[in-house]
Amino acid sequence: MAENHIHRIMREREEAHQQLRQVREMLCDIELYLTSAKFTSSPDDDYVHVRTDILPKIAAVRFAAIG
């Protein structure tokens, strides 16, 4: 028997929520990595603009994925 429309929409919605959870988890992992001592060992050294460019963009994407 074919999946009815409502059940298909509910399944697709749950799959989309799961994908967003995975995206948020990956972004958190990336943020943790980029805030490690490897990139933030010196307050005067913003290695590849991690603090000023990359982390704010990752945070914006993570917050957009919450919605």
What is the rounded distance in angstroms from the CA atom of residue 37 to the CA atom of residue 42?
8
Q: What is the pLDDT of residues 4-57, one digit of tens each?
A: 999 999 999 999 999 999 998 999 999 898 888 877 777 676 667 788 888 899
Structure confidence at residue 29 (pLDDT): 92
Give 50's Cβ-side CA count (13 Å radius): 18
pLDDT at 53 (0 to 100) = 86
Which pLDDT belongs to residue 17?
92
Q: What is the per-residue pLDDT for 52?
A: 83
pTM of this structure: 0.69
User: What DSSP assignment string belongs to 1-40?
Assistant: -PPPHHHHHHHHHHHHHHHHHHHHHHHHHHHHHHTSHHHH
At residue 52, the 3 state secondary structure works out as helix
